[in-house]
Amino acid sequence: QKEVEQNSGPLSVPEGAIASLNCTYSDRGSQSFFWYRQYSGKSPELIMSIYSNGDKEDGRFTAQLNKASQYVSLLIRDSQPSDSATYLCAVNGGTYKYIFGTGTRLKVLA
Amino acid sequence: DAGVTQSPTHLIKTRGQQVTLRCSPKSGHDTVSWYQQALGQGPQFIFQYYEEEERQRGNFPDRFSGHQFPNYSSELNVNALLLGDSALYLCASSPSGAPNTGELFFGEGSRLTVL
């Protein structure tokens, strides 16, 4: 079982819709959770971090964490073509290593 | 405020050669981590340097080595290159303190092609 799992996609949504991205992790001791956006040929850029159960909102982005079920999700409201990218889920279990999923490719159709 | 800078941006090597990649962390950061990202995969942790010492290492062979200098900049060295070493090598910096609650700031990466 992979430590951090994501559906590779592509996930296609129409412009203005809500995009829902999901991630599961295997280490119950994980403490910090992150969503990175990576445009093709570019480096990952942090868009959300979440550390406790529940929802965290930042503009059009909402991160959701459920430690009992070991999943993290990212909702993107009012999706724009500029949101088209690969979204990487990253988990840190209390060491210096961040574990990344393989990423979900999102395509927002104009 | 300069972000994380990496050099070179692109390079091509042949099997068996050696390569050195360089990274300068974001201003105010003293911790540098290196990640390898193969095509279509997520970044994989190679190692982290803090106070000029390797603090933690991922599942990479000894062909991968590194160094951190007193000014916090860092180098990644890969010896005896294999075709499978072709990847984007990402440097990420972070401030010291709680190691697992802060975000990583990534550089633009060094894309290595091994022929």
Contact at CB, A103 and B106, closer than 8 angstroms = no
The per-residue pLDDT for range B38-90, each reduced to its tens digit, is: 999 999 999 999 999 999 999 999 999 999 999 999 999 999 999 999 999 99
Calculate mean pLDDT across residues A42-68: 95
Contact at CB, B45 and A43, closer than 8 angstroms = no
| Chain B residues inside the 8 Å CB shell of A31 | 100-101
The per-residue pLDDT for range B79-97, each reduced to its tens digit, is: 999 999 999 999 999 887 6
The per-residue pLDDT for range A63-87, each reduced to its tens digit, is: 999 999 999 999 999 999 999 999 9
Q: Which of B33, B50, B100 sits opposite A32 (nearest CB)?
A: B100
d(Cα A42, Cα A104) in Å, to the nearest integer? 15
In angstroms, the Cα distances linking B110 to A17, A69, B13 are: 35, 37, 13
d(Cα B106, Cα A2) in Å, to the nearest integer? 24
- First-residue to last-residue Cα distance in chain A: 36
Cis? peptide before B25, omega within 30° of 0: no
Return mean pLDDT, chain A: 93
| Chain A residues inside the 8 Å CB shell of B50 | 96
In angstroms, the Cα distances linking B57 to A38, B23, B79, B101 are: 24, 18, 17, 19
Which pLDDT belongs to residue A97? Answer: 86
Q: Parallel, antiparallel, or unpaired: how do β-strands B74-78 and A98-100 relate?
A: unpaired
> Would you call B68 exposed, middle or buried from its count of C-beta atoms within 10 A (0-12, 13-18, 19+)?
buried
Contact at CB, B42 and A101, closer than 8 angstroms = yes
